[in-house]
Amino acid sequence: MTTVLTSQVKKLSGELSIPGDKSISHRSIMFGAIAKGTTTVSNFLTGEDCLSTIACFQKLGVTINQQENFVEIIGKGFEGLKEPTELLNVGNSGTTIRLMLGILSGRPFFAALEGDASIAKRPMTRVTDPLREMGASIDGRVNGKFTPISVRGGSLNGFTYELPMASAQVKSAILLAGLQASGTTTVIEPSRTRDHTERMIRQFGGEVTIDGLAVSVKGGQSLKATHVHVPGDISSAAFFLVAGAIVPNSEVTLRNVGLNPSRTGIIDVMVDMGADLHVSSEELEAAEPVADLTIKPSSLRATTIEGDMIPRLIDELPIIALLATQAEGITVIKDAEELKVKETNRIDTVVHELKTLGAKIEATDDGMIIYGGSKLHGGRVNSHGDHRIGMMLAIASLISDGEVILENEEAISVSYPMFFAHLNKLIN
């Protein structure tokens, strides 16, 4: 679908309750399914990606009742999962396919997985290689590199694996296989990535050892059902943080945003750039810390984003690129090759689409160079089926001085079905 976005906005004001975190929502269903007993989940994200996870586990024989953002999962342990009679369709969701491959690698049955056109281009060898090394039989297009992928799980051996890239999805897939393997499985990360899987293993009564960049689990653990309250998704909040920072005269408060330190790179970068961002009502005791965030416009300066910071804000780089177009000076993003294998090649899509609106921005091999102080104008842009590109362009439109038309706007419902309703609430 094509939509005319709102442009030339005078100010944004008000507050929003940010929908549930996508990474944690996926994991709440997966852990509920492999634990024993009835798990309940509140503030579950009803975006299409997380609904794909529910549908896949229902096909594996798990009873899951969902009413809007409340979900009940009747788990019967890993052994309760049954051979599916149909293909498991993960839609657009990389987290679903990669983490499920880890779970299915330890199950003594056959399953086949597929997804949409974007999933068909995303590399799976990063998970299929280590899972094969543990003992799973996996096949797929181009020798298991791409979907469709089939897995016949079985008995797995624990091992130590040095991750070649900083990826929480790969780490999590191996840990989920490791929970079913003999002995201990250790994953060594090149840089720390989001640790929701580790936190959730503990929340479901399991044990995980973290020693620097090494994360270990013992096989044969039994997990117990629990209640999971999903905090607001900082990756969704990011769009309104940047909007509040660049639309003049704004004041926006975002409630109950998850502030897991492995995800708060955007806050550190915005503060470093001079953003007027205030954190309040911090609750640090829960499995995942949360707080309220208030943002107002201020003069912004360029920055360099690189190294260990990248995994802490990998999904926020498209919206940070927009922010950098409004800062003074030249912002450099490096060490972010992983952007090339997201829902789209986000180096190419960000650079191409922002250029269409008049930004001065260049692609590099591992990131982007963004020249600040650009005035954005109207134009015809495209999400390319990537939810985060669609939302970034909708925020860019707010400060554009002409009409912005967005193609493939429907991609946004992958992670934020209420996005336009929330944006309109702040405009009016």
Query: Where in the sequence numbering do the catalytic residues fall?
Result: 315
Q: How far is the CB of 197 from ligand S3P (least distance, A)?
A: 7
Indicate the SS3 state at residue 377: coil
Q: Which of 170, 177, 113, 174 is nearest to 140 (CA)?
A: 113
Minimal distance, residue 24 CB to ligand S3P, in Å: 8
78-114 exposure pattern, b = at least 16 Cβ within 10 A, e = fewer: bebbeebeeebbbbbbbbbbbbbbbbbbbbeeebbbb
Q: Is 167 in the site for ligand S3P (CB under 6 A)?
A: yes
| CA distance readout (Å), 336 to 37, 125, 340, 410, 426 | 41, 19, 8, 27, 32
CA 297, 235, 255, 383 torsion-angle sign: positive
15 binds ligand S3P (CB under 6 A): no
Sheet with 304-305: list strands edge to edge.
Answer: 304-305, 330-333, 367-371, 360-364
Specify the residue, 297 or 311, whose C-beta has the smaller distance to ligand S3P. 311
Q: Tell me the number of residues near ligand S3P by CB under 6 A.
A: 10
How far, in Å, CA of 48 to CA of 51, rounded? 5
Q: How many CA atoms lie within 13 A of 390 on its CB side?
A: 25
Amino acid sitting at position 128 = T
DSSP labels for 78-94?
GGG----SS-EE-TT-H
169 is a contact residue toward ligand S3P (CB under 6 A): yes
Work out whether 315 is an interface residue with ligand S3P (CB under 6 A).
Answer: yes
Q: Which is nearer to ligand S3P, 95 or 180 (CB)?
A: 95
Out of 25, 39, 89, 95, the residue judged to bind ligand S3P by CB under 6 A: 95
Among 107, 194, 384, 387, binds ligand S3P (CB under 6 A): 194
Closest distance of CB 414 from ligand S3P, Å: 10
**Neighbouring residues of 33: CB distance < 8 A, sequence distance ≥ 6:** 57, 60, 62, 64, 73, 75, 80, 81
- Two structure tokens written together for 337: 């090759």
Q: Which of 7, 23, 89, 147 is in the footprint of ligand S3P by CB under 6 A?
A: 23
Q: Which is nearer to ligand S3P, 36 or 342 (CB)?
A: 342
* 185 near ligand S3P, rule: CB under 6 A: no
How many helices (H) and strands (E) the chain has is answered by 13, 23
Q: How far is the CB of 117 from ligand S3P (least distance, A)?
A: 18
Q: Minimal distance in Å, beta carbon 54 to ligand S3P?
A: 16
User: Binding to ligand S3P by residue 103, rule CB under 6 A?
Assistant: no
Site string for ligand S3P, 356-375 (x = CB under 6 A): --------------------
When the beta carbons of 62 and 124 are compared against ligand S3P, the nearer one is 124
* Candidate segments 153-161, 162-170, 275-283, 354-362, binder of ligand S3P by CB under 6 A: 162-170
139, 272, 306, 338: which one binds ligand S3P (CB under 6 A) = 338
Q: Which residues bind ligand S3P (CB under 6 A)?
A: 23, 95, 167-169, 172, 194, 314-315, 338
